[in-house]
Amino acid sequence: MSPSGTSVIVVGGGIVGLACAWFLQCRGHTVLLLDPARAAAAADAPGEGPVRSGSLAALGVLMADSFHRERGRAWDLRQRSLELWAEWRQELARRGHPIPYRSGVLLLAADGDEEERLAALGARKRALGLPLEPWDRRRLEQLEPGLPQPSLAGLHSGRDGQLDPGSALAALAADGRQRGLTVRAEAAVALRRDGGGWRVDLAGGGAERAAWVVLAAGTASGTLLKAAAEVGAGVDSGPWELEPVLGQALELELDAPLPGPWPGAVVWRGVNLVPRPDLEGGRRLWLGATLEPGRRADPDQLRELRGLGGAAPEWLEEARVVRRWQGLRPRPVGRPAPLLEQPAPGLLLAGGHYRNGILLAPASAAWVAGQIESLPTGT
């Protein structure tokens, strides 16, 4: 807990915003979370209908040890988040808010080049003491139901895994409220300096004030920062541009449950197959996601996803589609993801996580807390 709490407004109630709000509240700060989509975020799983936030559309696959790098900021954030998610899940479960979690991620190689890259990746990670295990073709062929083909080799990461995004959102929100977190279902429309802190103007006509503001509102964060810079609020002009990248995904129901424990989530040519043991007796899995620029879904890309480009095994082709959804992921323009920045004293940006918001939420929250607890405002 911080030695002396301060007032914080968190703008945006996706997984990153909620993680920041919850963690700050846990550390003794007084936090107001602004999220106009709070009602939708309480859903247990993504549903059909309009485009949803990246958090609600996410599949929740946590790829930290199996990341293609072994050093640098991105690597450090992933490792920190993997540690924190384990601690957070334990703490939330202790307080009555468990988050369904499945350990293990299996990366597949569909051609010779991918096979070589997986072998090199596994060797580098094992040299660091990480438990990435090579699986040969014979072992892959023993899995039932069968994997997409070709699957020449695999690399299994035992510390990586998958958690349920909807349950994570609900757990952080419920426990945050129990700890005193205030949530308002209103959108922020403008940022203004207010003495030594900040004023946030709301869409409903009111305003809220706090010593610190954390922006975690997807592409809207960039819009707010740009507007604040234009009116002379002392905000660095950036670049803070965030572009939407749409992803489509499917929930499928099988004729029979997956026999025995599959090796966690399976990644084949960038597509995730995520078993859902907590739904319909183990007969459901998620399939996704596409990468589409802008905000308009392409039906051809969804068809390509459904059939894995012609490589879907028979059991997957015969599965019934019970739900389809799409979500927008904010990607920084011309800069690496995510953007963890301080555009002005007392104003923090935690955004642009692109496809890794679920994974990187805890490390982002820890960074935000570090800034607030170590840097004075008004300097």
pLDDT tens, residue by residue, 320-378: 999 999 999 999 999 999 999 999 999 999 999 999 999 999 999 999 999 999 865 43
Q: What is the mean pLDDT of the chain?
A: 91
Average of pLDDT values for 163-186? 96
Q: Which long-range contacts (CB under 8 A, 24 or more apart) does 38-45 make?
A: 38/13, 38/173, 38/183, 38/185, 39/185, 41/13, 41/14, 41/169, 41/173, 42/169, 42/170, 42/173, 43/166, 44/164, 44/166, 44/167, 44/170, 45/164, 45/166, 45/251, 45/279, 45/323
204 belongs to a structural domain: yes
> pLDDT at position 379, please?
31
Residue 88 placed within a domain: no
Q: Are 120 and 91 in contact (CB under 8 A)?
A: no
Q: Answer yes or no: is pLDDT of 279 > 90.
A: no
Q: Average the pLDDT over each of 8-17, 32-41, 139-148, 310-319 and give the range with the smallest value.
A: 32-41
Q: Tell whether 130 and 199 lie within a shared domain.
A: no
Same structural domain for residues 307 and 350? no
172 shares its domain with 126? no
Note the pLDDT of residue 1: 40
Residues 214 and 232 both lie in one domain: yes
Task: Report the CATH number that the domain containing residue 317 is assigned in CATH.
Answer: 3.30.9.10
Q: What is the pLDDT of residue 38?
A: 62
Q: Are residues 268 and 317 in the same domain?
A: yes
Range of the domain at 32: 7-58+167-242+333-374
Whether residues 16 and 47 fall in one domain? yes
178 and 307 fall within a common domain? no
Q: Which pLDDT tens digit goes with each residue over 115-163?
A: 999 999 999 999 999 999 999 999 999 998 899 999 999 999 999 999 9
Confidence of residue 236 (pLDDT cuts 50, 70, 90): confident
- pLDDT value at position 4? 58
pLDDT at residue 53 greater than cutoff 90: no
pLDDT exceeds 50 at position 42? no
Question: In which residue are the tokens 């008004």 written?
Answer: 378
How many structural domains is the chain composed of? 2
Mean pLDDT along residues 160-182: 96
Please give the pLDDT value at position 3.
46
Are 208 and 250 within one domain?
Answer: no
Q: Is 283 among the domain residues?
A: yes
Distances (CA, A) of 213 to 90, 197, 199: 28, 8, 9
Q: What is the pLDDT of residue 377?
A: 45
Query: Pairing mode, if any, of strands 212-215 and 7-11?
Result: parallel
Q: Give the domain CATH number at 35.
A: 3.50.50.60
